[in-house]
Structure 1
Amino acid sequence: MNIVMGIYIVILGLLLGSFFNVCIYRIPRGESIVFPGSHCTNCNNKIKGYDLIPVISYIFLKGKCRYCGEKISLRYPAVELITAAIFYLIYLKYGLMFLTVKYIVLASLLIVIGMIDLDTTDVYFSTTITGVIFGIGFIIASYFFNLGIGEFIIGGIAAGGFIAVIILITRGMGWGDAEICLVCGLFLGFKLSIVMLFLSFIIGGIVGIGLILSKIKNRKDYIPFGPFIAVSSLLTIFLGEYIVNYYMAMF
């Protein structure tokens, strides 16, 4: 592994993590993610470039706006650090390969979609359609890397279709969940999509039961499923092939 490249990947993750924070905040509010520039949501003062350095600016500002002293959520540097860590781990696993680029793009989409769903219990079409476009783009690119395309097309249809059937039968999930699974299937392919779905329901079930037992939620409360799909997809990126191989070895 190239250490210098690893550092570049981490810096990229920090910078994009900062941008993802903007997307997570603005998309649910119907605001442009480009204009106006970054500003304090309390006093509306424009934030200078030197106050936008990921993580470092938060530390130097002691988690407060330079102008009005409004507290800045700890989640901002947390998203930046988590994004950088995920990017680095993907690079660590796959090196400088086509899959690294593809999975970094998928991880980026999942961070934004998952966090927005966690905040609002909504999945926005503008985010999932972006994922579909990128997914199709990578499927086309896969042809030139001799990776095949059928596996990924089937993966998208199967994953999204499976959730769609559940929605039609039980009405216990939202159509946004089907959209997220469609996106993940286009990136992961059929076999890994099965792993992703399996992990989603396992993790979602465990967390859901925990929330109910701890009385944070009751059985009638809606719990967004998007974050579970996002976490499961990320786990699948790192562990999916091991899980598939272990399962196949059993037979």
Structure 2
Amino acid sequence: MYYILIFVVGLMVGSFLNVCIYRIPLKQSIVFPASHCFNCNHELNGLDLIPVFSFIFLKGKCRYCGDKISIQYPLVELANALLFLFAFIYFGFNLLTVFYAVFSSLLLVISVIDYKKGIIPNYLIIFGLILGVIYITFTVIITHSYDIAKNGLLGAFLGAIIIIIIIVISRGGMGAGDYKLMGVIGLFLGYKKIILVLFLAVVLAGIFATILLISKSKERKSAIPFGPFLAIAALSVLYYGDLIINWYLLYIF
């Protein structure tokens, strides 16, 4: 029963994330005006805003003008619901899990915006930094130890510095948003896991780029947003980082 509730909450939050994905790059308020059709500007009512189900019932079209609704909306809602569900299954029902769930939602929003627009808005970075500081403060209070704080702050510094060095050496091979995002990720995962995040992100980006080149969807010099790969890598390390590191130490050394 609890997991069903978590899934539903995840869907509802996912619906709000779609608003953020559309409005934040345009520097619009995420609260006002009310949700409306982008084609006919008709204000949407409650029946139009039920996560996933409205898209299915309306057959992916606006009720008022028949304009096509992007598949992004139900996909983001479902993705966030699954992220919420997985977080609570893995970490259990506690306040720390709420931080991980919100962190996951943040990474989802950043991924979609970076993929579509090629930018990582500073508003999201600032939110991530504030969330990370609150997370670290809370863990210090409940554990009575500053180890996580030191680990997180060092992770943020190390993650940002590594990307900055890559940007300088590659002369703009990555964007400024990438080092800021790595700083946020470092706050949550710490310095020991931030290197693993970068490694996995590079591998994933390389595989994706190879597929695009083989399919001729992109040219060799075409830019590929790195944010989504950092986000996927960060989520992978959040859940399986210790397992990957232990496997590496066991079989490589």
Per the TM superposition, whether the score is higher than 0.5 is: yes
Query: Is 1:144 aligned to 2:145, yes or no?
Result: no
Task: Give the C-alpha shift of residue 89 in structure 1.
Answer: 0.9
Q: Flag as ranges the 4+ runs of structure 1 deviating above 3 A.
A: none
Specify the code of the residue in structure 2 equivalent to 1:70: D
Distance in 2 between the 1:168 and 1:145 partners? 40
Specify the code of the residue in structure 2 equivalent to 1:156: A
Which of 116, 131, 144 is the aligned partner of 1:119? 116
**Residue of structure 2 equivalent to 1:105:** 102
Q: 1:133-187, CA deviations, whole angstroms, 9 ceiling, x for partnerless residues?
A: 1111111111012163111111111111111111111121111000111111111
* Structure 1, unpaired ranges of 5+: none
TM-score (norm. length: structure 1) = 0.95
**Residue of structure 2 equivalent to 1:231:** 232
**Residue of structure 1 equivalent to 2:163:** 163
* Structure 2, unpaired ranges of 5+: none
Query: Is 1:62 aligned to 2:59, yes or no?
Result: yes
**Residue of structure 1 equivalent to 2:128:** 131
**Residue of structure 2 equivalent to 1:81:** 78
**Residue of structure 1 equivalent to 2:37:** 40
Equivalent pairs counted in the alignment come to 248
Identical pairs, percent: 46
Specify the code of the residue in structure 2 equivalent to 1:62: K
Q: Report which stretch shifted further, 98-107 or 192-201.
A: 98-107
Q: 1:102-155, CA deviations, whole angstroms, 9 ceiling, x for partnerless residues?
A: 211110110111100000111111111110111111111110121631111111
Cα pair 1:191 1:244 within 8 Å, conserved: no
Cα pair 1:102 1:187 within 8 Å, conserved: no
Distance in 2 between the 1:22 and 1:81 partners? 15
**Residue of structure 2 equivalent to 1:90:** 87
Cα pair 1:160 1:179 within 8 Å, conserved: yes
Q: 1:181-216, CA deviations, whole angstroms, 9 ceiling, x for partnerless residues?
A: 111111111222222111101101111122122211
Specify the code of the residue in structure 2 equivalent to 1:140: T
Distance in 2 between the 1:55 and 1:70 partners? 17
Specify the code of the residue in structure 1 equivalent to 2:97: T
Q: Report which stretch shifted further, 143-152 or 29-38.
A: 143-152
**Residue of structure 1 equivalent to 2:208:** 207
**Residue of structure 2 equivalent to 1:14:** 11
The SS at the match of 1:149 is helix
The SS at the match of 1:159 is helix
Task: Give the C-alpha shift of residue 62 in structure 1.
Answer: 1.3
Distance in 2 between the 1:229 and 1:97 partners? 26
**Residue of structure 2 equivalent to 1:194:** 195
**Residue of structure 1 equivalent to 2:2:** 5
Q: Report which stretch shifted further, 239-248 or 164-173.
A: 239-248
Task: Give the C-alpha shift of residue 50 in structure 1.
Answer: 1.9
Which of 20, 24, 38 is the aligned partner of 1:23? 20
Distance in 1 between the 2:165 and 2:94 partners? 35
